[in-house]
């Protein structure tokens, strides 16, 4: 029953919302340049499918590269932080600085500095996605059961044994919750960076299509592109949640609650 | 069942060990003060003979856990010295059982029990049978592949004891290991612990806040004063092993508990 509700209820809400939307647009005779009807957006999605899908591919490629870079960098930096308090103290302020600086403010610089437009966008998206990985993984590596740490010390475990056999498994739940947040941020970062880059970017991602459609007053296409971004975001969340579930379901109490 | 059998088999060897007065552990004028200035433990002198079962009882915060951690070498004493003459030369002569089962939740009971051997670099082909033996000794060999969370609190504690036994230590330190368990499970684990202690010829130091448990288990019960703790008095329990429930139900047991209770009151602990 619970399961059924969890899957069916959101779908019902979605369908009802679309019907109400369609009905309101027809009833109130809303012009298409203000809000297009869902049927119109659907038709555009089908008609412009080749264009939109290749744009989605570009945005996804940037977001996935950024997520991979953020994961590798984030975990690496977290490992360094846990090994040395001095290093953590000296680098943490700059990590926070990177996090609090809006990406729209630094994206133009990065786009000027980096020749390859796609690489520039990946760097921007990585900056957006990096902080949750560092912060969560560091917290995880430090949240070790004090008794287990005593046990490892009693048996004269090396620093390496403590890291691999105790800190890394303890950090997994934190790592995965960081990954869920970072996956969404990588996509947002990719889209925002594309917006900032405009024609200076790869000139082929979803954000670029939204910009172009806006200039051409092609609102149904704007909405269709927006829909694809939303679907991509939800898929990222579902994929990372699934990954977390796969790794943690056996032992971690929170793994089942998505 | 199985556990009771072990008690009877083990009794002769354990009494032999106790007749041999080698101080396995000497705690000489040891105290512990935290860097903040908080005195965790007053000055303590304590000798434990090889094969002896010594319990430490006292109010919470008196430093009995600190004393145990000092003996384990997990903390360094602020003053004084601790010497350990441990019969069996092994990489891990000291085993520690914590208040909580303290098992790694992500891996099987077997892997948890094997951990001390893994950390010592013992090959899996040697460590796995040893871990299974240790599990059998505490009666949970059927749960080798289970995860900790699939076991009850009492069974998790048994796994924790199996892990302590797997390295064949000479000195077993226990910090209120059964404090979180119900009375029935606790009494049962007390009996099983005595059986293992006798069988393995262990020297045991047991911290508890239960008078009954201390009297039931020990050769000697040390009574500590409130913070900063010092040893106020000692109760000798001259009851032969193996001990079973008939000891717990005897008037002698009740008398010993009453004596211990008076000692605690005199020490300002009750």
Pick B74's closest partner by Cβ from A145, A153, A169.
A153
Query: Cβ contact (<8 Å) for A148 and B104?
Result: yes
Closest by Cβ to A250, choosing from B95, B116, B147: B147
Distance, C-alpha A55 to centroid of its chain: 17
Which residue bears the tokens 């199996």? B162
Q: For A13-35, write each residue's pLDDT tens digit.
A: 999 999 999 999 999 999 988 88
Which of B100, B119, B147 is facing A155, going by the closest CB pair? B119
Shortest distance between the Cα of A232 and any Cα of chain B, in A, equals 32
**CA separation, residue A161 to residues A147, A170, B72, B118, B168 (Å):** 16, 13, 20, 10, 22
The pLDDT, as a whole number, for residue B269 is 64
**Window A:140-169, CB contacts with B under 8 Å:** 145, 147-148, 150-157, 161, 165-166, 169
Q: What is the mean pLDDT of residues A142-164?
A: 92
Minimal Cα distance from B99: which residue of A?
A147
Q: Which of A147, A165, A253 sits opposite B102 (nearest CB)?
A: A147
**Structural domains present in chain B:** 1-88+173-181+202-270 (3.40.50.300)
Residue B115 with chain A: CB contacts under 8 Å? 151, 155, 165
| CA B170 – CA B49 distance, rounded (Å) | 11
**Measured between CA atoms, how close is A75 to chain B, in angstroms?**
20
Q: Find the helix packing angle between A85-100 and A49-83, rounded to 10°.
A: 150
A73 CB within 8 Å of a chain B CB: no
Cβ atoms within 10 Å of B209's Cβ, excluding its own: 16
pLDDT mean across residues, chain A: 90
pLDDT at residue B7, as a whole number: 36
Of A169, A252, A253, the CB nearest to B104: A169
The Cα–Cα gap between A67 and A126 comes to: 7
Which residue of chain B has the CA closest to A149? B102
Kindly identify which residue of chain B lies nearest to residue A166, measuring between CA atoms: B104
> How many angstroms separate the CA atoms of B117 and B163, rounded?
9
Q: Between chains, do B118 and A165 touch, taking CB under 8 Å as contact? A: yes
Find the chain B residues whose C-beta atoms sit closer than 8 A to any C-beta of A.
69, 72-74, 91-92, 94-96, 98-100, 102, 104-107, 115-116, 118-120, 147-149, 167
* C-alpha distance from residue B159 to each of B137, B149, B203 (Å): 10, 12, 20
Low-confidence spans in chain B with pLDDT less than 70? 1-22, 87-91, 269-270
Given a contact cutoff of 8 angstroms between Cβ atoms, the answer to whether B49 and B24 are in contact is yes
Interface of A with B in 35-54 (CB under 8 A): none
Confidence band, pLDDT 50/70/90 cuts, at residue A177? very high
Contact B106 A147 (CB under 8 A): no
Which pLDDT does position B88 carry in this prediction? Answer: 60
pLDDT of residue A200: 62
Q: Which residue has the higher pLDDT, A198 or A120?
A: A120
pLDDT value of position B146: 94
Instruction: Enumerate the residues of chain A whose CB falls inside 8 A of the CB of residue B96.
Output: 150-151, 154
Whether B106 and A250 lie within 8 Å, measured CB to CB: yes
Is residue A89 scored above 60 in pLDDT? yes
Whole-number pLDDT of residue B2: 38
pLDDT tens digits along A205-219 = 899 999 989 889 899
Do the Cβ atoms of A228 and A190 come closer than 8 Å? no
Confidence of residue A55 (pLDDT cuts 50, 70, 90): very high
The answer to whether the CB atoms of A154 and B73 lie below 8 A apart is: yes
Report the residue of chain B nearest A167, measured CA to CA: B104
Interface test with B, best of A153, A251, A253 (most B CBs within 10 A): A251
C-alpha B109/C-alpha B150 separation (Å) is 10
CB contact under 8 A, B106 and A145: no
A52: region left, alpha or beta (phi > 0 left; psi from -120 to 50 alpha): alpha
Strands across the sheet containing B231-236: B94-97, B171-175, B203-208, B53-57, B220-224, B231-236
3-state helix, strand, coil in chain A (%, to 5): 85, 0, 15
A79 CA: distance to closest CA in chain B (Å): 20
Quote the pTM value.
0.82
Q: Closest partner residue to B98 among A147, A153, A172, by Cβ?
A: A147
d(CA B236, CA A46): 89
Strand spans (E) along B10-133: 23-33, 39-49, 53-57, 79-84, 94-97
Distance between CA atoms of residues A230 and A235, nearest Å: 9
Q: Find the mean pLDDT for residues A143-153.
A: 93
Verify whether the Cβ–Cβ distance B119 to A251 is below 8 Å. no
Neighboring chain A residues of B118 at a CB cutoff of 8 Å: 165
Element (H, E) at B223: strand B220-224
Looking at residue B7, the DSSP 8-state letter turns out to be: H
Q: Give the chain B residue nearest A144 (alpha carbons).
A: B104
């Amino acid at each position: 029953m619970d399961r059924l509700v969890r899957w069916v209820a959101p779908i019902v809400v979605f369908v009802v919302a679309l019907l109400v939307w369609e009905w309101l647009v027809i009833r109130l005779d809303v012009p298409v340049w203000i809000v297009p009807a869902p049927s119109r957006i659907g038709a555009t999605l089908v008609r412009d499918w080749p264009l939109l899908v290749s744009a989605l591919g570009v945005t996804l490629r940037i977001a996935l590269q950024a997520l991979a870079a953020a994961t590798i960098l984030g975990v690496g930096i977290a490992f360094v932080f846990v090994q040395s308090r001095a290093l953590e103290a000296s680098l943490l302020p700059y990590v926070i600085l990177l996090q609090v600086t809006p990406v729209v403010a630094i994206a133009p610089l990065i786009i000027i500095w980096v020749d390859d437009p796609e690489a520039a966008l990946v760097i921007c998206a990585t900056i957006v996605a990096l902080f949750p990985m560092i912060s969560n993984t560091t917290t995880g590596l430090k949240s070790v059961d004090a008794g287990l740490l005593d046990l490892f010390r009693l048996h004269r475990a090396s620093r390496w044994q403590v890291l691999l056999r105790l800190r890394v498994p303890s950090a997994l739940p934190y790592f995965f919750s960081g990954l869920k947040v970072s996956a969404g941020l990588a996509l947002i970062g990719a889209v925002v960076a594309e917006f900032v880059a405009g024609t200076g970017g790869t000139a082929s991602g979803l954000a670029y299509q939204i910009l172009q459609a806006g200039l051409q007053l092609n609102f149904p296409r704007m909405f269709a592109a927006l829909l694809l971004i939303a679907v991509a975001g939800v898929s990222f969340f579902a994929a990372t949640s699934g990954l977390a579930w796969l790794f943690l379901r056996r032992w971690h109490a929170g793994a089942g609650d998505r | 069942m199985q556990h009771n059998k072990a008690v009877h088999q083990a009794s002769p060897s354990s009494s032999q060990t106790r007749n041999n007065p080698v101080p396995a552990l000497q705690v000489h004028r040891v105290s512990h003060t935290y860097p903040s200035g908080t005195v965790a433990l007053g000055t303590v002198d304590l000798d434990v003979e090889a094969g002896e079962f010594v319990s430490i009882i006292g109010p919470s915060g008196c430093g009995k856990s600190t004393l145990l951690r000092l003996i384990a070498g997990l903390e360094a004493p602020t003053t004084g010295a601790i010497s350990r003459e441990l019969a069996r030369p092994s990489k891990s002569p000291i085993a520690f059982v914590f208040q909580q089962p303290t098992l790694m939740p992500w891996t099987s009971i077997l892997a948890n029990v094997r951990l001390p051997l893994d950390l010592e670099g013992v090959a899996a082909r040697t460590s796995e049978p040893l871990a299974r033996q240790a599990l059998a000794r505490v009666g949970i060999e059927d749960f080798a592949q289970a995860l900790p969370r699939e076991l009850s609190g009492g069974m998790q504690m048994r796994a924790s004891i199996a892990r302590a036994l797997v390295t064949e230590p000479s000195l077993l330190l226990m910090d209120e290991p059964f404090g979180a368990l119900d009375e029935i499970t606790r009494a049962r684990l007390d009996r099983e612990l005595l059986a293992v202690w006798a069988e393995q010829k262990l020297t045991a130091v047991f911290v508890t806040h239960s008078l009954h448990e201390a009297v039931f288990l020990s050769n000697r019960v040390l009574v500590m004063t409130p913070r900063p703790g010092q040893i106020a008095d000692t109760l000798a329990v001259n009851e032969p092993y193996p001990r079973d429930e008939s000891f717990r139900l005897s008037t002698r047991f009740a008398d010993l508990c009453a004596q211990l209770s008076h000692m605690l009151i005199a020490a300002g602990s009750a």
